[in-house]
């Protein structure tokens, strides 16, 4: 089956710990994205990557880091510097054909709770 997978579905961490969220896609998409969603707020872009070994900060990158060593994978690390890490984290990908805006497809998300 083609798609985007995220793991784990639920994650609990203690304050002060770093944690890495996994995102894998087998759609052969060039671009990948990380968003967070908080109650009552729209999706906010954390980081995105348009090509392997390259990524850009989104609107709320502070306290997060990413890597894009393979086309299929775009892991997100939530560091202890992130002040309010409890949120629903969504990974997306898009084919990125041409200069226009491409449809983004989402994984099932990881719900992170900091205790």
Binding-site member from 25, 82, 93, 104 for other proteins (CB under 8 A) = 104
Kindly give, in sequence order, each residue whose CB lies less than 8 Å from that of residue 32, ignoring residues fewer than 6 positions away: 23, 25, 48, 49, 68, 74, 91, 92, 93
Of 12-20, 64-72, 78-86, 102-110: span binding other proteins (CB under 8 A):
102-110
26-65 positions binding other proteins, by CB under 8 A? 31, 40-45, 48, 50, 58
Shortest distance, CB of residue 76 to other proteins, whole angstroms? 15
Instruction: Write out the two tokens for 96.
Output: 């990125």
């Amino acid at each position: 089956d083609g798609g985007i997978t995220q793991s784990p579905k639920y994650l609990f961490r203690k304050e002060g710990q770093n944690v890495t969220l996994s995102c894998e896609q087998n759609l052969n998409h060039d671009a990948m994205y990380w968003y967070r969603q908080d109650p009552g707020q729209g999706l906010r872009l954390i980081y995105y990557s348009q090509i392997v070994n390259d990524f850009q900060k989104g609107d709320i990158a502070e306290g997060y880091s990413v890597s894009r060593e393979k086309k299929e994978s775009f892991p997100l690390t939530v560091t202890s510097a992130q002040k309010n890490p409890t949120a629903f984290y969504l990974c997306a990908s898009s084919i990125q054909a041409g200069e226009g805006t491409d449809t983004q497809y989402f994984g099932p998300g990881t719900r992170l709770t900091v205790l």
